[in-house]
Amino acid sequence: MWLLAISLVGLLVVVVCVFLRFSKDKGLDGIVNEKKRDKNSAPRVSASGEDGTKNEQVEKKSDPSGGLGEENEKTNSESKVLSVPSDQNINKTLPVMLPSLELRKYDENETPGKVVNRRLLVSTNEMKYGRNGYEVFQGVYGRRSSVAVKCLDLAHTTEAFIQNEIDNHCLCDDHSNIIRFHGLEQDQSFAYICLEPWKCSLDDLIKLSVRRTKRDTQAVAPVDDLEKVMKRIKFWKEKGKPLPLTPMLKLMRDVVCGLAHLHKLKIIHRNLNPQNVLIIVKDMTLTAKISDMSLSKHLGGKKSSYKHLATCSGSSGWQAPEQLNKDKKKKEDFPADMFNFGCLLHYAVMGTHPFGSPSERDTNIKTNNKTNLSLVTNLEAINLIEQLLNYKPDLRPSATQVLLHPLFWDSEKRLFFLREASDRIELDITMWGDLNKTIAPRVLGESKDWASKLGKTFITHIENLAQAQPGQESRQYNRSYKYWSLRHLLRLIRNILSHHREILDDPKIKEMVGKVPEGLDIFFTARFPNLMMEIYAFISMHCKGEEAFEKYFN
């Protein structure tokens, strides 16, 4: 009996050894390929060719070794090995190799996938956002819980394109408004660029915002928890007008910060559009990050490294005039990115493109026909957009200059600027006449009566404060005001900001104005929408070089 038991144990040991040897040879890749020989056995990947168009999808046929067959193996055996630059001061070490059994389950639904080099699992869960001539899938890279895997077919995408994208990603990888690059894997047929995952593109977000505003039932990309975030965030005022530094403008500021970082490193993005701005959601906060460095150009690199970009351009409708006209006299440089950002800003603020419908945009850009610019009602926004869309590249502001524009100031900075402007104007009597003669009509209207716009209740409260109580001295902020004087309106704003606890002590007035500084800023901006930009231009003309205003202009 004991001999039979020993024989059974020995047989069991042999079976286990054979199974382990089989698993080691084939790994998860072989198991998955045997289990799923239908169209879902591996990601269907398409890549963009040199003309920027989306090529026909190429299905990766499975075999026990995970290859593409003898013909494709022969074709790709001559491909160069792509690499992450070793001279960059970034942490891009390869992740630890994990046993295939640890990678077998991508998620709780046991979504199968393809293992690459035993470090990367590419799932069949296709990400529906940010696609532009290539496919992106969810994945796991080493011990990272989640990555976005950009799959590029080496048969349809040159090594130069892919290497250019990797090199420039590594150069600019350490910025909070650039999508993080986690690593590169490659097999005989595909290059897999592992990136920071995102929730949606800016295009998805804007379309969702417009749909919610119009109560449209038209379907957009899946948004799951993004819908929850948007219910708590007020992106727009009525009629699509942005509030001071709304969440949407904050996202636009994120994009400018990313561009400023790229340009500081002498990198031109060359393909900035709503699909290439990706949205990260963390703790109910949205952050915009620039992605897709495939067409980017590093001006500090060797000219030979971007010869392959000579015949390539950005997306249709999102190119500067010098990109479309291919004028050799007008070298493509950083201003091209700023023109594209101007289009992007208009799209974010109004939900429309400044040069019309998709079919007419390129023609209108070439002829400088801004069909939708008149729709912008926010004076700060239209001032900046007009500068960015200037037909002459040399006259467009740089990314760092855009960051200083009042459109991206928060309420506190806006009010502080008006206070300092008021103090400066009070000291120079020569400025009073010009202010009331040329600026006041554009701010107050022809009547030049700002009291009527503030309301009787508010003005009565201000007048009561101006009357000193018996036994009390009249303070500076209790002075009476001339309601036809723009200088006195600035003084009122200055006094409320500096003494808001005393001036806004009445519950009705406090409820009317709201919290300081946000409520106070909105209160005056709603009644005098041109005030900020008119005073900004006035101070820029008279006092731009003075130390007190250096932080606003330089």
Instruction: Tell me which residue has tokens 């389950």.
Output: 105
Name the phi and psi angles at 139, rounded to 5.
Answer: -160, 180
* CA gap 441, 417 in Å, rounded: 21
| 277 secondary structure, DSSP code | E
The DSSP code sequence of 378-415 is -HHHHHHHHHHT-SSGGGSPPHHHHHTSGGG--HHHHH
Dump pLDDT digits (tens) for 433-445.
Answer: 899 899 999 999 8
Share of the chain above pLDDT 70, in %: 68
Buried b (16+ CB within 10 A) or exposed e, 164-182: bbbbbbbbbbebebbbbbb
- 27 found inside a domain: no
Q: What is the pLDDT of residues 331-342, one digit of tens each?
A: 789 999 999 999
Please report whether residue 455 resides in a domain.
yes
Q: What is the pLDDT of residue 538?
A: 96
Q: Please say which residue of 136, 160, 195 terminates a domain.
A: 195
Average pLDDT, the chain: 77
> Per the structure, how many domains does the chain have?
3
Mean pLDDT check: name the lowest of 191-205, 301-315, 332-346.
Answer: 301-315
Report the distance separating Cα 206 and Cα 524, nearest Å: 28
Asked if 176 and 214 sit in the same domain, the reply is: no
Query: Do 456 and 524 belong to one domain?
Result: yes
Residue 504: which pLDDT band, with cuts at 50, 70 and 90? confident
Per-residue pLDDT of 258-281, as tens digits, reads 999 999 999 999 999 999 999 998
Q: What distance in Å separates the CA atoms of residue 340 and residue 311, rounded to the nearest whole number?
A: 19
Cα atoms in the Cβ-side hemisphere of radius 13 Å centred on 160: 13
201-215: string of b/e by CB count within 10 Å (b at 16+)? bbbbbbbbbbeeeee
508 and 371 in a common domain? no
Coil, helix or strand for 334?
helix
Q: Which H or E run includes 523?
A: helix 518-527
pLDDT, residue 388, reads: 98
pLDDT of residue 547: 94
- pLDDT band, residue 157 (cuts 50/70/90): confident
In sequence order, what are the residues at sequence separation of 6 or more whose Cβ sits closer than 8 angstroms to the Cβ of residue 216?
210
Q: Which has the closest alpha carbon to 414: 235, 535, 505, 545?
A: 535
| Per-residue pLDDT tens over the stretch 58-90 | 333 333 233 323 333 443 444 456 777 655 444
Beta bridge partners of 297: 268
Q: Name 153's bridge partners.
A: 190
**Contacts for 157 with CB less than 8 Å, ≥ 6 apart:** 47, 48, 49, 191
Q: Do 217 and 226 form a contact (C-beta atoms < 8 A)?
A: no
Is residue 23 situated within a structural domain?
Answer: no
One domain, residues 399 and 434: no
CA–CA dist 373, 137 (Å, integer) = 38
Cβ–Cβ < 8 Å for 134, 152: yes
> CB burial class (10 A; 0-12, 13-18, 19+) of residue 287?
middle
**In which domain, by residue range, is 146 found?**
33-195
**Where does the pLDDT of residue 218 fall: very low under 50, low under 70, confident under 90, or very high at 90 and above?**
very low
Q: Residue 464: give its domain's CATH number.
A: 1.20.1440.180
Q: pLDDT higher for 220 or 323?
A: 323
Q: The domain that contains 289 carries what CATH number?
A: 1.10.510.10
Q: Is 0.85 topped by the overall pTM?
A: no
User: Do 68 and 217 share a domain, yes or no?
Assistant: no
Question: Rounded to whole angstroms, how far apart are CA atoms 257 and 262?
Answer: 9
454 and 485 assigned to the same domain = yes
What are the pLDDT digits (tens) for 223-262?
Answer: 556 666 666 666 655 554 445 558 889 999 999 999 999 9
DSSP 439: I
- Residue at 3 is within a domain: no
Strongest mean pLDDT among 141-145, 187-191, 440-444: 440-444
Please tell me whether residues 177 and 229 are part of one structural domain. Answer: no
381 and 491, same domain (yes or no): no
Q: For residue 425, which of 522, 520, 494 has the smallest C-alpha distance?
A: 494
Backbone angles phi, psi at 123, to 5 degrees: -80, 175
Q: What CATH number does residue 46 fall under?
A: 3.30.200.20
Transcribe 39-74 into DSSP letters.
TTSS--B--B-TTSPBPPPB-----TTS---HHHHH
From 195, 212, 242, give the residue that closes a domain.
Answer: 195
Angle at alpha carbon of residue 339, lines to 337 and 345, rounded to 5°: 100
